Amino acid sequence: MSVTTILSDLAVGNTAVIQDMPTGHDAHLTRLRELGLVPGTRVRLVRRAPLGDPIEISVRGSRIAMRCSEAQHIKILTE
């Protein structure tokens, strides 16, 4: 059964598919879209920093660090 949640809630080691990202001209979210975080893309949470922020994700063969405040805007579909 698939569940819709947000990227910042994904557990370490789990994978999900990006379902939706906000549109607009926020520089941080625009940069994430340029790095390949678009709807339909599979992502995996690699690790969290010791205090929980930032997180490191694997997407399209690359690893990206992002703040949880950015990840909370990205809706994902977990399996």
pLDDT of amino acid 8: 94
pLDDT of residue 18: 96
Distance CA 79, CA 64 (A): 22
Confidence of residue 63 (pLDDT cuts 50, 70, 90): very high
pLDDT of residue 22: 82
For 11-58, how does the pLDDT look when each residue is reduced to its tens digit (9 = 90+)?
A: 999 999 999 988 777 788 888 888 889 999 999 999 999 998 999 999
Q: Where are the alpha helices (DSSP H) in 1-79?
A: 27-34, 68-71
Domain count, the chain: 1
DSSP strand pairing (15-20 vs 3-6): unpaired
CATH number of the domain at 50, please.
Answer: 2.30.30.90
Q: What is the domain extent for residue 51?
A: 3-78
